Structure 1
Amino acid sequence: MSEDPPFISAVDLFCGVGGLTHGLVRSGINVTAGVDLDPHCRYPFEANNAAPFIERDVKDLKPAELEPYLSASKYSMLAGCAPCQPFSTYSQSGRSRKRGMDWRLVLNFGSLVADLQPDLVTMENVVQLADHAVFSEFLDSLKGYAVSWAKVECTRIGIPQSRKRLVLLASKLGGHGLDLTPQFVRSQRTVRQEIGKLPTIAAGEQHPRDPLHTSSSLSETNMKRIKASKPGGTWRDWDPDLVAECHRKVTGSTYPSVYGRMEWDAPAPTITTQCFGYGNGRFGHPTQDRAISLREAAMLQTFPRNYKFLKKGEQVTFSRLGRLIGNAVPVRLGEVIGKCLIEHVHAFERGEAEVAGVGISEQLGRLF
């Protein structure tokens, strides 16, 4: 990467704890601010990224408030991942009530793009978004931009979990050079490679030097269950007396992935907001009799091992931290997006607008 000062300034909308921001910064993009309405995101965002956290609801933002943060470099960029609860298949509670509000956030993002006209735009979201009318409405806000989007399998870019995401790239500089080439591809990473060197802890234990390396406690029954579980297996491997009553019913037989262990030499399952619970998915540690720790979940999301989520002396709250980690954009995905956009701008500045005549969609297809 060039040692020249960053020439792209970005604002990260719906920034959360800074997964996308941290990846963009690693790529060489200057993230000048992050916006989120959750006050619990402030400390991890600001403690790990040299940018201010703006505690605001994106739907209440005025374009003029963001303009100073977008003018710090030659090129400007809006980035973000609007909350995706309407499309979640994990929890059905409250979906109809929240749907209109959360879909509106995607359109609020589009309205800010239309008003601010940044040079570059990227949006990351759940793949189901592409099948809904709100996505077409968002695309309508990108008039004058070259646009491409793809459904990305995260294991193909070095993220050690099976996670599919929609990634959209848009540019006012044209579609040339917007090329997610194999130079950014890493071989598939495994659970062992990512978390295999962390210290051993027991269920319900917290490591004395890393408060985030803490795991939830297990009931007597669940301790028996995890001891009977093998990596990659399911509760169907257990003795019948350990199987939960709900899974003995016909309707429960379709949920084989709960109460499972991860495999050392394979990617993890998708890290969700409930990843700290052994009974919530295949979140059992491959060999230790416990669910994965919060630190392990964060590392499987490709956060650095030293990423700060807690102030000194702050108590661990599993539900809050699980939500912040599970909802984050994997850092590695942000880094790949950033590198692609930097290469795109370099290509534009080299005057390669017509080189090879390859469209964005075809170029994205090389990788995904």
Structure 2
Amino acid sequence: MQETPVCLRVGHLLPYYLSDSNRTDFTNPSTFILLGIPGLEAAHVWITIPFCAMYVTAILGNFTILFIVKREPSLHEPVFYFLCMLAVTDLLISTSTMPKMLSIFWFNSREISFSACLTQMYFVHALSAMESGILVYLAFDRYVAICHPLRHSAILTNSVVAKIGLALVLRCGILTLAYPFLARRWPYCRTNIIPHSYCRFIAVVNLACADIQIGSYYGLFYLFSVNGMDVFFITVSYTQILRAIFRLPTKDARIKTFGTCISHLCAILALYIPDFFSAFMQRFGHNVPLHFLVLIANVYLLVPPVLHPIIYGVRTKQIRGRLLQVFTHKET
């Protein structure tokens, strides 16, 4: 879920790091300065240890999912195509932020060009929305598999999956364009220092010296049209799924059928719990230290790409079996 800048707390987000000497008069700077995690500069090197470990885990885990699905013909089914979409999205979203973040922590390379900052902003928000949308389609797959099992292959054909993927890319890509467009049109005449480790929309527009109310309104629209609709459709899908499960005649059948949804439910929790916690802290954590808010925002981007391949690798029988065969060098 993308945060919407309803409360643009400039004074809260720009503390003592921005001294009077930093408040120079300029318009649309050619570069921004990313502070990393303000207040924890002395611990940046130590912070990179878990961050780097999570990034490597995300890269290896998601590439493993893609490798297994590609090599195993029996996995060339709609649900695994959706998993591949999720893996690619997770790879892109972690790679769009972590290399620059690590360069800040390791080499104190804090400069980022204005255009690169807006590009990073676009991909962070668009890919986050993509993750959410893919989980909607995975919920739809579970709904069809449980409520209409005999029609599953007829409803979710390869062409339908391709159309769904294209629709998702267009939705996220087009709606997110407004973020860099709005950020580019505002003047920045106070400072070019961003108290964050990547270019998040709310962190960038807080630096603008103009009326940014339209950004707040569009943020609300984005929140409800993307994340709100995704949560709504997931809720509707699982309402229908639970109704179908409770109609099953035996307890064992109900437990077995519900067990097929566990992986997807865990993936939803892995995405939305850090997301909602980050959004909640940004809006209501007025007395929360800035470094904690930035850490939570970073964790929100790193946790889902790490957990998604682990969840599906452990919980999905076909992937788990193929993975064991790869490591034990057994022939299929």
TM-score higher than 0.5: no
TM-score, with length taken from structure 2: 0.27
The structure with the largest strand share of the pair is 1
TM-score, with length taken from structure 1: 0.25
Higher relative contact order (CA 8 A, sep 6+): 2
